[in-house]
Amino acid sequence: MTSKPLSGPAAIAALPRNRLLGEFSLWSADLANMETDLRRIEAFVDLHHIDVADARFTPGFLFFPDFVARIAKSTAKPIHVHLMVEAEIVEEQTRQFIEAGADLISVHAENGEAGLRAIAVAKELGAEAGVVLRLETPVSAIEPFIDHVAFVTLLGTLIGVKGQSLSEKACDRLIEARSLLKKAGREDRVILAADGGIREQTVPLLRQAGAQTVVLGSLAFGDKNLGDRIAWLHGLESRVS
């Protein structure tokens, strides 16, 4: 059992702002040897990223509250749950994943008013909230959420499928999101995240376009020298001030 120094909004507020963050997607871990992978990555993790998919909003089905509860016992690092679910269940799923130990819940902007209600629930229950956009949704869809979230995540690939290449629209979408955050006076309060298509050749481009965290799948879990990979990631500079 590992005890957490900080949780919820305090854990998210304490994340470093002076370098690119490494958010580790447990979907890409060795699912048969999760405890071994958790021990291997613990020193390098800024956030754990846990995808939740309901096989309706997304093609597939992924992870559940008991999984989050078990992971929470084996890490001192914050847990980010990405809810890829239909609007009618997003509030209840938010509740269940926070009770299980999520520090940050991100809902999809495509959930509309239900997404905003889920964010209010997350805050009432003492967690932090974020918003995510599918690749095909206009970036302006984050606007109703900007004042209520600490994280904005842009998918750089089609939703719910791993192993894909980054869309050529991804960097321009990050630049647009950054300018909307700036316009709203929220660029110092919100972390901009890139999820999907995170590869050796795409991370520098995403960083230069303003990504402050990247969701690492095979790039981290497939790397035998994780320390060097993370040192490289931390050294990448942003062109966006």
Ligand X SMILES: O=C(CO)[C@@H](O)[C@H](O)COP(=O)(O)O
Give the binding site for ligand X (CB under 6 A). 25, 27-28, 49, 51, 157, 162-163, 195-196, 198, 215, 217-219
Question: Which of the following is catalytic: 37, 46, 103, 195?
Answer: 195
Give residue 87's region: left, alpha or beta (phi > 0; psi -120 to 50). alpha
How near is the Cβ of 32 to ligand X at its closest, in Å?
Answer: 16
How near is the Cβ of 3 to ligand X at its closest, in Å?
Answer: 27
Long-range contacts from 67-72, C-beta under 8 angstroms, 24+ separation: 68/97, 68/100, 68/101, 68/102, 69/100, 69/101, 71/26, 71/34, 71/38, 71/101, 72/4, 72/100, 72/101
Nearer to ligand X, 28 or 111 (CB): 28
Nearer to ligand X, 67 or 186 (CB): 67
Nearer to ligand X, 103 or 195 (CB): 195
- Taking each helix axis from N to C terminus, what angle separates 65-72 and 87-100, rounded to the nearest 10 degrees? 30
Residue 168: partners with Cβ closer than 8 Å, 6 or more residues away: none
195 counts as catalytic: yes
228 counts as catalytic: no
Question: 241, 227, 238, 237: which is closest to 45 by C-alpha?
Answer: 227
Q: Is 155 helix (H, G, I), strand (E, B) or coil?
A: strand
Nearer to ligand X, 2 or 164 (CB): 164
Q: What is the dihedral of CA 226, 231, 234, 239, to 10 degrees?
A: -110
Tell me, rounded to whole angstroms, the distance of Cα 192 from its chain centroid.
9
Question: Which of the following is catalytic: 37, 46, 51, 103?
Answer: 51
CA distance 215 to 236: 15
The closest residue (CB) to ligand X is 217
How near is the Cβ of 182 to ligand X at its closest, in Å?
Answer: 26
How near is the Cβ of 199 to ligand X at its closest, in Å?
Answer: 7
How near is the Cβ of 170 to ligand X at its closest, in Å?
Answer: 11
Nearer to ligand X, 121 or 217 (CB): 217
Q: Which residues are catalytically annotated?
A: 51, 195
